[in-house]
Chains A and B, each alone.
Chain A
């Protein structure tokens, strides 16, 4: 299942007068994997929060096909409940939706296996490494089978090696579930590796300055990272970013 959405001249000015986001319009197809790229402070997180309904737009709207699709959100930090085991953290969205505890935890265990943490069902967040916590966070975002998965620089704090592995995990899960993925990142290379399409925002207030297709087929193997096709797309993005002033 997945759901497309339309950003319709979406703009946000915060009560303190900060114009975070200019006017952003984009159609995002169901099942697409799209990255948002741009300088720090240009409103990327704000876009995700607007889509998630955690913030109200000042102007414009987020359009859904009929009703708002179900959402998963992966924050930059793992954002786990420190007092709850990995399983219970992952079961949270299901339990909040009213699913019986036993069933929710059973599904959480399956989700935990999918992110390669089968042996850590009863581990507390502090007993896990940074990368493992992020996996728990991914499993939690996916456990309720969301139509749309919003990701806000989820791997920014991780080392290159872990990051690469999690990129592959993410692509594998996306291939399985076909959710609509919206991925915010600072890394040009991560954006190219993951996405079908890259939206580049200008400095504050954020505006769309480029909309770049990445035609490379999936599944993308690690070898893709050093291919000529990869470099060509990365070059396009770097050129577009050149024109973007920093905030």
Chain B
């Protein structure tokens, strides 16, 4: 219990201390605000530019969630296809890997050409989806392969058909793997969305990346920090929510699966 309290209190205390130190050193060392603005100036940005920043954050969040959902659904579906058909796996998995190892920033120009400049949001969505898709596919595939062979035999012995085996055995056994992949995918969808906004959408969407570029060009460093803060916040909240979902689904039997 004490340890638990410390785990919450310590990071917060450290955070507050660092902020104090930051504020103090900027003032004391006379660092110009276009190099490093003090925390108070960053907070002040939310008073002046809050609406536009939150609007942009909303756009980026929307893209992130859409890409994340697409990645989760398509990654799981493809993994299920791989599990049911070796031929499909042999034929398709190299393409999944190619998609994964090619940096999305390098694919961006191609997607822009295909989708058209008018549909910048679609370009961003596609790129963020590509970024988030692979961990779902990889973890779901690994999970489906990690099914206890004895349990598999048991299902065969009782003449379970593919549907029964899939729903009663493969889905539950692979769930811990899948959820770990989905957690990674949440973060990657956000990274992918921002990178894609940088790469593809200058001036065409109003995501947070655009706010950061814009602020950079005008040397509004405090605003840049404010945008970064929002991004970090979004990432952390997303991760926390996904971790909670994972806990909800697994805490009863997690951690001791091997002994069962």
By a beta-carbon cutoff of 8 Å, the part of chain A in contact with chain B is 49, 52-54, 71, 73, 75, 77-84, 92-93, 96-97, 124-126, 133, 144
Contacting residue for B158 out of A75, A84, A92, A126, CB 8 A? A92
- Give the docked Cα–Cα distance between A32 and B252 (Å): 41
Interface-side segment among B47-55, B122-130, B164-172: B164-172
Shortest Cβ distance from B29 into chain A, in angstroms?
Answer: 56
**Interface presence of B159 (CB below 8 A):** yes
Shortest Cβ distance from A190 into chain B, in angstroms?
Answer: 21
**Interface presence of B157 (CB below 8 A):** yes
Smallest Cβ-Cβ distance to B257: which chain A residue: A82
- Give the docked Cα–Cα distance between A126 and B256 (Å): 6
Smallest Cβ-Cβ distance to A75: which chain B residue: B150
Q: By CB atoms of chain A within 10 A, which of B158, B253, B257 has the most?
A: B158
Contacting residue for B259 out of A75, A97, A125, CB 8 A? A125
Residues of B within 8 A of A79 (CB): 148, 150-151, 154
A125 near B157 (CB under 8 angstroms)? Answer: no
- Give the docked Cα–Cα distance between A44 and B239 (Å): 50
Q: By CB atoms of chain B within 10 A, which of A79, A83, A92 has the most?
A: A83
- Give the docked Cα–Cα distance between A220 and B253 (Å): 39
A83 near B253 (CB under 8 angstroms)? Answer: yes
Residues of B within 8 A of A71 (CB): 157
Residues of A within 8 A of B158 (CB): 92-93, 96-97, 144
Given A81-B169, A126-B253, A133-B260 contact (CB < 8 Å): yes
- Complex interface residues of chain B between 219 and 260 (CB less than 8 A to chain A): 252-253, 255-257, 259-260
Given A124-B252, A124-B253, A80-B260 contact (CB < 8 Å): yes
A-contact 0/1 string along B86-101, CB 8 Å cutoff: 0000000000000000
Can you spell out 8 A-B residue pairs with CB atoms less than 8 angstroms apart? Answer: A54-B156, A71-B157, A75-B154, A82-B257, A83-B173, A92-B154, A96-B155, A97-B159
Shortest Cβ distance from A61 into chain B, in angstroms?
Answer: 18
- Complex interface residues of chain B between 135 and 167 (CB less than 8 A to chain A): 148, 150-151, 153-160, 164
